[in-house]
Amino acid sequence: MLQIPFIREHKDLVIERLKKRQIDAAEMINQVIALDEQRRQEQTHLDNMLAESNSLSKEIGILYKSGQAEQANALKARTADLKTETKELNDKLNETAEALNQLLYKIPNVPNELVPAGNSEEENEEIFIEGKIPTLHDGALPHWELAKKYDIIDFELGNKITGAGFPVYKGKGARLQRALIAYFLDKNTAAGYTEYQLPLLVNEASGFGTGQLPDKEGQMYHVTEDNLYLIPTSEVPGTNIFRDVILNENELPIGITGYTPCFRREAGSYGAHVRGLNRLHQFDKVEILRVEHPENSYKALDTMVDHVREILRELKLPYRILRLCGGDLGFTAAMTYDFEVFSTAQDRWLEISSVSNFETFQANRLKLRFKNSEGKNELAHTLNGSSLALPRVLAGILENYQTPEGIMIPEVLIPYTGFSIID
């Protein structure tokens, strides 16, 4: 959530930057400022009335003690009126504050100045590409056909048990999945991230804290009886560790990592482009999260990008890095880099990681602060990234490493799988 002082002080900048998202926010921003002004006036009026009421109460006590009951009773009538008026004003103030908050919840984060303007993924900026795209043998197959041929992933069985988008991994497919999770976690902990095992359901406050609610409410599975949500990513429980926390400056930076299954309704996702592992309702992901001093967060973002880049180099998969344009940027992000792996059998790029800096947007919702060198509370910056999301990494390995003899295993994963080929 954007900070009101920032909006007031940088109104024109906020409106101009939000245009990168193809949003004309002028009316909303003006309404925020007007509601905030109204809230301030109502708060001042309420404070004055409460001060008058307190002053009268003291005066009444003095009058009674001095035997001036008639004058005291006259003042009591005024305090009764003030009590009614302050209650009405307090209710009005709460309504104004709630209207202001609801409006702020609708305003996305302000894109960083380096974010290109644009309306869709076609306008994302490719900033890096690396890796040789393999030449596949005649008869090479997409991963969903390979999964069936080698009996390692059963999409039909998952459909029987639950529904489309819930695959069943079998035999070497399950072991490869487990190997990737262990490898990613080892890489992350070696880089200084502390491993956490996190809940798979979160409450409403956690969803609001990281910005999934109300923006992505329709994409989350909701356990209505308990009012809990299945997590769409471990970013949600992981970042909420720090909700309502005041850190000391010397505790920064903080880095955590965790593996969780993730659940997304992905309503309206149909067609060949979401076939197989390309888009699922349940999938595994290893995440990295950082809490940073505002002065260091963009250096930390570059470090996270380099970390994911190293993993893909070790897996020897062809990949590219995109800086997302404003129209493709997530609601809470100020800047995002997407990693995509080239699927040779599908002849297309598949997104396998997003690494984002949210600046103070999440921290403001979370009330995540630190005491700076002057002893004042200051909002921290939060960042997160996939390191990595498994389905499309697995799809890339199956398709790019296939040979007439079988599917070779990336060398770095063999110590984790215990085998070098799926045949």
d(CA 125, CA 12): 25
Annotated ligand binding at 266? The verdict is yes
Annotated ligand binding at 384? The verdict is yes
d(CA 199, CA 219): 18
Annotated ligand binding at 265? The verdict is yes
148 CB-contact burial (10 Å; exposed 0-12 / middle 13-18 / buried 19+)? middle
Annotated ligand binding at 8? The verdict is no
The sign one gets for the Cα dihedral 107, 108, 110, 114 is negative
d(CA 207, CA 15): 26
Annotated ligand binding at 392? The verdict is no
Question: Residue 243 carries which DSSP code?
Answer: T
> By 3-state DSSP, what share of the chain in percent is helix, strand and coil, each rounded to 5?
45, 20, 30
Annotated ligand binding at 352? The verdict is yes
d(CA 269, CA 263): 14
Question: Residue 10 carries which DSSP code?
Answer: T
Q: What SS3 state is found at 234?
A: coil
On the CB side of 294, CA atoms within 13 Å amount to: 16
Annotated ligand binding at 16? The verdict is no
- What are the helix and strand counts (H, E) for the chain? 13, 19
Annotated ligand binding at 57? The verdict is no
- Which of 233, 238, 199 is CA-nearest to residue 216? 233
- Find where tokens 């792996």 sit: 341
Give the residue ranges of DSSP H helices in 66-170. 69-105, 143-149, 155-161
Could you tell me if 53 and 41 are in contact, meaning their C-beta atoms sit under 8 angstroms apart?
Answer: no
- Find where tokens 């990737």 sit: 180
Where residue 297 falls (left for φ over 0; alpha for ψ -120 to 50; beta otherwise) is alpha
Amino acid at residue number 417:
T
Structure token digits, residue 50: 């409460």
CA dihedral 103→106→109→115, nearest 10 degrees, is -130
Annotated binding-site members for ATP? 264-266, 351-354
Annotated binding-site members for L-serine? 233, 264, 287, 384
Annotated binding-site members? 233, 264-266, 287, 351-354, 384
